[in-house]
Structure 1
Amino acid sequence: MKWPVPDTVFTRLFGLVLAALLCSHLVMTGLFVVFAPDGPPPEAPPPPRAADHPRPPPGERPPHERGERRLPPEFWAGFALQLAAVSLLAWYGARRLVRPIEQLTQGARELGRTLDAPPIDETGPLETRQAALLFNDMRAKLRRQMDERSHFLAAVSHDLRTPLTRIRLRGTQIDDSALQQRLNQDIDEMAAMLDATLAYLRDNSQQEGWEQLDIEALLQAMAEDAQELGQPVSFNGQASQLRTLPATLRRCLDNLLENALRYGGSADISLQQSDTTVEIAIRDHGPGIPAAQLARVFEPFVRLEDSRNRHTGGTGLGLTIARDAARRMGGELYLSNADDGGLVALLVLPR
């Protein structure tokens, strides 16, 4: 049987306090009823006439002579007021105790989206303050590790340009033109990978503010810009403004559109919204991706032989950058093959 209320710490604390209060009042009421002294009412009514009431059996006192344990209405009114007051205090106390746990949960959710999430407040009881302190320390360490990794890879990628330039110059001394051409292609591929790596690291390290964006106007402008360059790109759909990271969203869409044009020849952009999400689908009309490889193509520098090889100019980072950008905005990127051919990249963003 499913409970009508969620099973949370707040519900359990509030229910426990309320149950303890109710039980204590019921016990006290029962003791009062059982052990209250008998006695006639404050003002005994005149004895009834024999003609109005039958004579009681021998050994039993008439109702006007025996004391009855009746709780006055004031008792029940006081009981109700006391129950309401303590229930309100129990609700307030439970909320105060649960609030640090809710902040810790929200902080963990934000940390899963981006390492740039602000630290959580170290408030509440000793245990929750210690948990918040450890969480903030873990977040700072992760941020430092990511910064160190990015700086290290950026330095290595930058320093590799010098030997690549020397290899290119020395390649001009090779007499075999075919070998020289293949060597230059390898150098160009390595340089493109270095450029993509640096761009990927810059995207992860930079911070951007959240802004209201007319996403429909953005997609319409992207489609018109591509059409001016002679690229077959269409757009349909509508949505209201969305609070997002504008540069991150543009970078994500640019990578998806570039992939669709490179490997599918054309792109159809569709936009729709619901009460909680905004969905952007970019479909190409290429060969698609084998179902077993749909998750693998999100890995860095992964290119499929049939559709993504070095001669197409891809580096294998486009989808990686696009998915990281989607998650930085709190959304997710999904890939699927269309029923009638082609690949569909679906970007789902929360409102």
Structure 2
Amino acid sequence: MPTGLLGRSLLILMTPMLLLQIVTVLIFFERHWDTIAKQLSRGLAGDVAYVVDYIGQYPDDSHFDAMVDNARRRMQLDIVFEPDAILEKQITQPPYGLVSEELFTALKERIDRPFYFDLEVDDRMLEIRIQLKDGVLSVVAPRKRLYTSTTYIFFMWIAGSALILYGVAVLFMRNQVRPIRKLAMASDQFGRGVNVDDFKPEGASEVRMAAASFMSMRDRIQRHLSQRTALLAGVSHDLRTPLTRMKLELAMQGSSPGVDALKQDVLDMERMVDAYLAFARGEEGEQAVETDIGKLLTELVGEALREGQQIDLHIEDNQMMEIRRQSVRRCVANIIGNAGRYASNLSIRAGRRGNDFEVLFDDDGPGIPVEKREEVFKPFYRLEESRNQATGGVGLGMTIARDSARGHGGDVLLEDAPGGGLRVRLVLPIGHR
């Protein structure tokens, strides 16, 4: 069965039409074709029977020549008499085929003599041979005496009208489906952060209602994100102000074990505030732009190498993609950062896989148990339970990474690395699915 709306709609339209045509053709064959074949066969058999009777009543040559001439002019029959000849073969059972059966029945009813007929002497003629007392009578007639062109005309009309109707149906259904496809593309683009301000409702009233609902939802989401961003900006300002005063007060206290511990606590609080704001902010305010994904990965790996990480990068296929650059950058940076925290070496392989661009991060760390792989994507979940920010982070790195990937229509998956350790698979769709 078709999976698309266009295919299913055409199937709904064309199936009744096809069934109607099949029923019409069956009725035509049962009634019209059967009747026409029977009447034509009886007409030809009647003419042949008249010739046989005429020869029996007037066997002299003068009457025979006159009868041959009249039969050629008026009945379109060419008659040849073969004296003392014997019919080599005859038909005693109805042959296969509607026309053959009707002609056999008609000749059997009107001629009480052995006979044989060949309907395919050539493309235009047929022959009937009849055994008489003193020879064989051969009657050659046009095939159109048994076959009517209305059959072929009927089929041509059926096929031609069907093609025209199917073409019109395809044209109209494509026009009806096009607005639905545009709505699907606009929804996909909005989910990936692409600007869809030029989208306009069109099509049937139900499709327009769905498009208007999508636009209202888009406006509400954008309004909600804008309000959340404004709120977070205010919270950020309010939190950073007392933290700055605390840092100044602690700087003036000099150096002592207690003061140094408080300074570290203030730094941890600043990192936590930054992580919370990054998680809550998401991709608000960032538009998708055409980005060289290979160049982006190279830049991030270069930064990690300068910080002392051991990374092997191999890009199989470079790709220009329409993405939210900072969002993907934050996603990849979090994955690389987690690998640097728990592993000594990291291998990165990037390339196109079908309609997706995949980045594989294979490290040699301790890995993550299968039962906990989904848990690490929960906000503030940390495998390292000491709550030490220097060793385990805040617990938002993988959450932000998956949130960013899914915001682009992709995903982040955790698997076993071939050489041990953990494999992180980042999947980003290249275009509209």
Taking structure 2 as the reference length, the TM-score comes to: 0.66
Deviations 1:280-330 (A, max 9, x none): 122333333333332222233332325873133723332233223323333
Matched with 1:233 is: 311
Matched with 1:311 is: 390
Shift of residue 26 of structure 1? 4.5
Residue 145 in 1 paired to residue 224 in 2?
yes
Matched with 2:115 is: none
Shift of residue 88 of structure 1? 0.8
Matched with 1:188 is: 267
Matched with 2:17 is: 21
Q: Is the 8 A contact 2:384 2:392 kept in 1?
A: no
Shift of residue 171 of structure 1? 5.4
Residue 134 in 1 paired to residue 213 in 2?
yes
Residue 327 in 1 paired to residue 327 in 2?
no
Q: Is the 8 A contact 2:318 2:351 kept in 1?
A: no
List alignment gaps of at least 5 residues for structure 1: none
Normalized per residue, the structure richer in strand is 2
Q: Is the 8 A contact 1:157 1:197 kept in 2?
A: no
Among residues 5, 24, 44, which one is paired with 1:9 in the alignment?
A: 5
Deviates more, 1:14-23 or 1:336-345: 336-345
Taking structure 1 as the reference length, the TM-score comes to: 0.79
Question: How many Å separate the matches in 2 of 1:328 and 1:209?
Answer: 11
Query: Do the aligned partners of residues 80 and 254 (structure 1) sit closer, same or farther apart at CA in structure 2, a change above 3 Å counting?
Result: same
Question: How many Å separate the matches in 2 of 1:227 and 1:13?
Answer: 57
Query: Do the aligned partners of residues 115 and 138 (structure 1) sit closer, same or farther apart at CA in structure 2, a change above 3 Å counting?
Result: farther
Shift of residue 169 of structure 1? 4.8
Task: Tell me the SS of whatever aligns to 1:288.
Answer: coil
Matched with 1:47 is: 47
State the superposition RMSD in angstroms: 3.9
Question: How many Å separate the matches in 2 of 1:203 and 1:238?
Answer: 29
Among residues 109, 113, 135, which one is paired with 1:57 in the alignment?
A: 109
Query: Do the aligned partners of residues 254 and 26 (structure 1) sit closer, same or farther apart at CA in structure 2, a change above 3 Å counting?
Result: closer
Matched with 1:287 is: 366
Task: Tell me the SS of whatever aligns to 1:57.
Answer: helix
* Paired residues for 1:155-170 under 5 Å: 155-169=234-248
Matched with 1:92 is: 171
Deviations 1:20-54 (A, max 9, x none): 3234445555666648998967xx76821328999
Matched with 1:123 is: 202
Aligned length: 340
Shift of residue 168 of structure 1? 4.2
Question: How many Å separate the matches in 2 of 1:175 and 1:209?
Answer: 48
List alignment gaps of at least 5 residues for structure 2: 56-80, 82-103, 112-140
Task: Tell me the SS of whatever aligns to 2:313.
Answer: strand
Among residues 321, 326, 338, which one is paired with 1:243 in the alignment?
A: 321
Question: How many Å separate the matches in 1 of 2:189 and 2:209?
Answer: 19
Task: Tell me the SS of whatever aligns to 2:415.
Answer: strand
Shift of residue 188 of structure 1? 1.5
Could you tell me which amino acid in structure 1 is paired with residue 12 of structure 2? L
Question: How many Å separate the matches in 2 of 1:288 and 1:23?
Answer: 62
Question: How many Å separate the matches in 2 of 1:58 and 1:281?
Answer: 89
Question: How many Å separate the matches in 1 of 2:306 and 2:248?
Answer: 38
Deviates more, 1:71-80 or 1:124-133: 71-80
Q: Which has the larger radius of gyration?
A: 2
Deviates more, 1:224-233 or 1:148-157: 224-233
Could you tell me which amino acid in structure 2 is paired with residue 161 of structure 1? R
Q: Is the 8 A contact 2:410 2:429 kept in 1?
A: yes
